[in-house]
Amino acid sequence: MIIVTGGAGFIGSNIVRQLNHQGIADVLVVDDLTDGRKIFNLSDCDLVDYLDKDDFQCRIVDGESFGADVEAVFHQGACTTTTEWDGQYMMETNFEYSKQVLHYCLQRGIPLIYASSASVYGTGRESAMERCNERPVNAYAFSKLMFDQYLRQLMPTIESQVVGLRYFNVYGPGERHKGSMASVMHHFNRQLSSGDEVRLFRGNDGYGDGEQLRDFVYVDDVAAVNLWMLTHPGVSGIFNLGTGRARTFNDVAQAVIDWHGRGRISYIPFPDDLRDSYQSYTQADLSGLRAAGYEAPFIDIETGVRRYLDLIGAAQPA
C-alpha cells in the first residue's frame, strides 16, 4: 500500500492519478475534507482507503499499522497559504506534522517523498541548494525550510530513502479549490471566461510591466518526478523541482489568450503590501535532480497551458 497525504489536494491527487495509471490502486489517501469540493479531484481515482488527517496523525503518533505493508509515503499535506501569518498553526501543520510522518517512516524503513517549496529562497535570484540562498519571507516558507533543515541534521544517520522536492510554481488540473492560491493560469483563464482582458502587475523591482519571471512547472511533471523517486530507492536528499527555465507573466498571459483566441493584456498597480515579499524572479537550479539521474524533459508554458485548458475548458475553470 502507498500512502498519499494531502491526497485530495492539487498535487497529491495528481500523484494518486499517476499511480493509478501505472496500475497501482492500493492507495490510502489522507486529507482534510472540510472543503468537500476536493472530492472532485479524486472522483476518477481508485483508492483502497481514506483517512482524515487528524485520525492519521493520531495513528502514526501511536505507532499503529495500517493493515497492510506500506511501500512508501508521499507526504503532500500542508497549509500552503503563503499569506497565513499564524506561525503557531503553520509550524504545527507543516513542521511538527512532517516530523511525525518522518519518524514513523524512519522507524519502519519506509521511503518518504515529501513536498518542500521554492519559497524558501525568498526574494533572492539564486536557487542553488546552498544555505546562503535560503531566506524565507513568510511563515509558510519558514515552516518548509525548518523541516528541510531538520532533515539535513538527520541525513548522515538515515538508511532508508527520504526525498524532499522544492516545488516551484506548479499549475494544472486539480487546483480549483485553492482559490487565491491557485496558479496565474487558473486566474487568467477565469478572467477571459468572463471578460476580454488578462490583468497583470505593472513593473516593479527593476522589471517592466508583466516582465517578472517565474519557473512555471506543469503538475504532470511534478507527479512524474515523485513517482520516479519511488522507483529509484537509492536516491535521497533535497532537490529543486521546476523546469529550469524562467518565463514572464506576459508569456503566460499570451499563452492563455492564444488558447481562447481572443483577449488583451492590461496592467494594474503593483500592491504596496507585496513589495518586500514578492518573488520577481524564480528559476530552478536542476543540477541536483539531473545528477541524481532524472533525465526527462519538462513541458514548456505553451504546451502546458494548452494541455491544461484543453482539459478544463473555458466555461468551468478548475
Write down the pLDDT at residue 317: 38
Exposure of 37 in the CB half-sphere (CA atoms within 13 A):
9
d(CA 2, CA 227): 11
- Which residues are the active-site residues? 140, 178
Which residues neighbour 301 within 8 Å (Cβ) at sequence distance 6 or greater? Answer: 216, 247, 251, 252, 255
Write down the pLDDT at residue 277: 80
- pLDDT, one tens digit for every residue, the chain (318 residues): 999 999 999 999 999 999 999 999 999 999 999 999 999 999 999 999 999 999 999 999 999 999 889 999 999 999 999 889 999 999 999 999 999 999 999 999 999 999 999 999 999 999 999 999 999 999 999 999 999 999 999 999 999 999 999 999 999 999 989 988 899 999 999 999 999 999 999 998 899 999 999 999 999 999 999 999 999 999 999 999 999 999 999 999 999 999 999 999 999 999 988 887 889 999 999 999 999 999 999 999 999 999 999 998 864 434
- Is the fold of 2-167+218-242+285-298 the same as that of 176-213+246-282+304-312? no
d(CA 226, CA 19): 10
> DSSP strand E in 111-262: where?
112-117, 162-167, 169-171, 197-201, 213-214, 216-218, 237-241, 247-248
CATH topology of domain 176-213+246-282+304-312: UDP-galactose 4-epimerase; domain 1 (3.90.25)
Which residues neighbour 294 within 8 Å (Cβ) at sequence distance 6 or greater? Answer: 225, 228
Q: Where are the domains of the chain?
A: 2-167+218-242+285-298, 176-213+246-282+304-312
Query: How far does CA 18 lie from the centroid of its chain?
Result: 15
> DSSP strand E in 20-65: where?
27-31, 49-52
Average pLDDT, the chain: 95
d(CA 219, CA 146): 25
d(CA 260, CA 310): 10
Write down the pLDDT at residue 313: 82
Write down the pLDDT at residue 67: 81
Buried b (16+ CB within 10 A) or exposed e, 225-247: bbbbbbeeeebbbbbbbbbbebb
> 2-167+218-242+285-298 has which CATH code?
3.40.50.720
Write down the pLDDT at residue 314: 60
Residues recorded for the chain: 318
